[in-house]
Amino acid sequence: MSTPHPAGPTPPTGLAARQAALVATLVAGAPVPAGFVTDRVDAARAALLRKRAGEVARHWPLLAAGLGDAWWGTFRDWAAGRPTAGSLRDGWDLARELRDRGALPPLGAEELVVREAAHHYDGEQPPRHRRLPAFARAGDAVALQFAGRVRLLRPARR
């Protein structure tokens, strides 16, 4: 079906395998398949990341606003080579990582604790509503959920 590929890692054959290899290149950090123009594939990879950053910012507006000018670089560094788990979970995973590094801005901390008080999220399965009352904290920010209502008990320190 196709002309021979130039030398390189044994290229996959068949459309399904070749499409899978290309998507892995674009979103999971796999090498560029043989024969493609590397610069162009890199440009597509960057464009996908930029679009994804915008979608995650829509789901996590306070996290993105809290990072301000650093949002794009922070998201890009975190997301490159990491396939999406959907915008909600991408932002959640990023917020937790920033929290663990002590790099979560106050607005992001407040957004995170409100979400964590309301939902159980184990990092593997989609988040689901908590049935029992719960506290959540990130740094100084503390949120309480009771009977489905969430209150930010203490804001993050500015």
Partner 1 sequence: MTWPHGVGIGWRPEIAGFVAELPGLRFVEVVAESLAAGGPLPAGLAALRERGVTVVPHGVRLSLGGAEPVDPHRVAHLARVAELVDAPLVSEHVAFVRAGGLEAGHLLPLPRTREAVTAVVANVRRAQAELPVPLALEPIAALFDWPDDELDEADFLTEILDATGAGLLLDVANVYANARNRGDDPHALLDRLPLERISYVHVAGGAERDGLYHDTHTDPVPAEVLELVGALCARRPPPALLLERDGHYPPAAALRAELDALAVAAGHPVVT
Q: Exactly one of 20, 70, 80, 103 binds partner 1 (CB under 8 A); which one?
A: 20
For 139, counting Cβ atoms within 10 Å of its Cβ (0-12 exposed, 13-18 middle, 19+ buried), the class is: middle
Q: Exactly one of 9, 14, 29, 123 binds partner 1 (CB under 8 A); which one?
A: 14
Output the smallest distance, CB 55 to partner 1, in A: 8
Whole-number Å distance between alpha carbons of 11 and 19:
12
Choose the binding region for partner 1 from 36-44, 98-106, 119-127, 139-147 (rule: CB under 8 A): 36-44
Reduced to 3 states (helix: H, G, I; strand: E, B; else coil), residue 122 is coil
Number of chain positions touching partner 1 (CB under 8 A): 34
* Residues paired with 150 in a beta bridge: 145
Residue type, 85: A
- Binding to partner 1 by CB under 8 A, coded x per residue (else -) over 98-117, reads --------------------
Where does 14-105 have alpha helices with state H?
15-28, 38-59, 61-67, 71-79, 87-100
Binding residues for partner 1, rule: CB under 8 A, are 1-3, 5, 14-24, 26-28, 34-37, 40-41, 43-44, 47-48, 51-52, 54-55, 83-84
